[in-house]
Amino acid sequence: MYNFDKQINRKNTSSLKWDSGVRRCNKPDLLPLWVADMDWETPDFIKDALLRQITETPVLGYTLDPDDWWQTTIKWIYDHHQWEVKRDWITYIPGIVKGIGMVINVFLKPDEKVIVQPPIYHPFYLTPQGNEREVVWNPLIPVYEDGKLVTYKMDFDNLAEVCDEKCRLLILANPHNPCGITWDKETLQQLAHFAKEHNLIVISDEIHCDMAIFGNKHIPFATVSDEAAEISITFSAPSKTFNIAGVVSSWSIIINDEMRNKFYHWLEASEFNEATMFAPVATIAAFKNGEPWRKEMLAYLEGNINFLIDYCKENIPQVKPVRPQASYLVWLDCRDLGLSQPELIDLFEKKAKLWLNDGAMFGKEGTGFMRLNVGCPRATLKQALEQLKEAVNS
């Protein structure tokens, strides 16, 4: 039994989430519920494994990959997602956003374009733009029930309109960030067929894949059809699930021989596929020992989301959380407050003293929204909601 109610003091630990308010963002007095890491303690079975690596290794020199690193990872993927990944398909990458930048530079000419599906995780468009590639927008379609936003679906008619001969790459969030959607097989098959017909590579960012909740199921994009297997690059990591983003233990999976050989040769030439000694240690510990912790964490997370939805319905009905199907990031529909986006930010930051992600950073489709990280003790979430209630009522 793990204690997810335990409150951890992360201040003055060089935490991006907690300390950048003082160091970088001029937000020192705000309760941070923004960047995607959790305030639950990284489990001891991972920290103990890392400590043993340090204390039992007399020289922290160059290291070989542990023999069971990829064997353990491949078994985890099969056990949880029924995907039989071959050893030569998978390699280390030094972070998923970095991986996106690498794919752009390996596969795209300077005049070729990248398609994204807003509202979307902002590095999906910032990374192409920073690498001087044009971004093409294919917005998701909001789905309503009884006047309430409940999810989104892909707009394939719009995709056909915006995709021209210069479009070369589509970046898919699977599960979706910030809306927490676990895409269904039929949608993914349709996307794969479109991509194959239009000569698109699809990067499927599956970093939240092990956090499906409320009975939902993650489906790896590469598994839905032969077309998906042929045109996809899958990125994933244990970092979101086990709260070890600082370790950097990401990987790439590519089935297509030609595409894999080109990308992995490029990675190897610059040693981008060589991990620090700590990435495999943390990954092996997580995947060999972490299933009980993961299940308890997800159950607590579901409780947090239910608490959030019930609290808003009873106390702040103008704020409507969209129930996620995966992960701890919740998309808040704040449009009934009747505020402009600057006024909405002012409400959350200056009045409620909360630091969430501005919905507009996920594209203009996020105007009127905020993204809330509920990966925290319930007491922290309750405090945040009480501060928001007071601010709205005032």
Please state the three-class secondary structure of 205-218 as a single string: ECCCHHHECCCCCC
By CB atoms closer than 10 A (0-12, 13-18, 19+), residue 211 is: buried
Chain mean position to CA 4: 21
Of the candidates 178, 195, 161, the residue with the CA atom closest to the CA atom of residue 124: 178
Q: Say how far apart CA 303 and CA 1 lie, in whole Å.
A: 16
Instruction: Report pLDDT digits (tens) over 30-89.
Output: 999 999 999 999 999 999 999 999 999 999 999 999 989 999 999 999 999 999 999 999
What's the token pair of residue 196? 């194959």
Contacts of 108 (CB under 8 A, 6+ apart): 114, 133, 168, 169
- Taking 90 as the threshold, does the pLDDT of residue 352 lie above it? yes
Beta partners for 40? Answer: none
Please report, for residues 102, 209, 376, the alpha-carbon distance to residue 300 in angstroms, rounded to integers and kept in the order given: 36, 17, 9
CB-based contact 125:203 (threshold 8 Å): no
What average pLDDT score do residues 274-285 get? 97
pLDDT for the residue 64: 92
Q: Quickly state the pLDDT bin for 139 (edges 50, 70, 90).
A: very high
- Taking 90 as the threshold, does the pLDDT of residue 23 lie above it? no
The torsion angle over the Cα atoms of residues 119, 124, 127 and 128, rounded to 10 degrees, is: -90
Q: Please name the amino acid found at residue 200.
A: L
Q: Quickly state the pLDDT bin for 338 (edges 50, 70, 90).
A: very high
pLDDT for the residue 27: 81
Domain spanning 16-32+291-393 has what CATH number? 3.90.1150.10
DSSP 183: -
By CB atoms closer than 10 A (0-12, 13-18, 19+), residue 341 is: middle
Which regions of the chain carry the CATH code 3.40.640.10? 69-289
Q: Quickly state the pLDDT bin for 1 (edges 50, 70, 90).
A: confident
What average pLDDT score do residues 264-270 get? 98
What pTM does this model have?
0.97
Q: Quickly state the pLDDT bin for 118 (edges 50, 70, 90).
A: very high
Of the candidates 290, 285, 280, 210, the residue with the CA atom closest to the CA atom of residue 70: 280
- Taking 80 as the threshold, does the pLDDT of residue 24 lie above it? no
- Taking 90 as the threshold, does the pLDDT of residue 179 lie above it? yes
CATH match of 69-289 with 3.40.640.10: yes
What average pLDDT score do residues 182-199 get? 98
- Taking 80 as the threshold, does the pLDDT of residue 295 lie above it? yes
Chain mean position to CA 373: 12
Which regions of the chain carry the CATH code 3.90.1150.10? 16-32+291-393
Contacts of 185 (CB under 8 A, 6+ apart): 219, 224
Q: Are strands 201-205 and 232-236 parallel, antiparallel or unpaired?
A: parallel
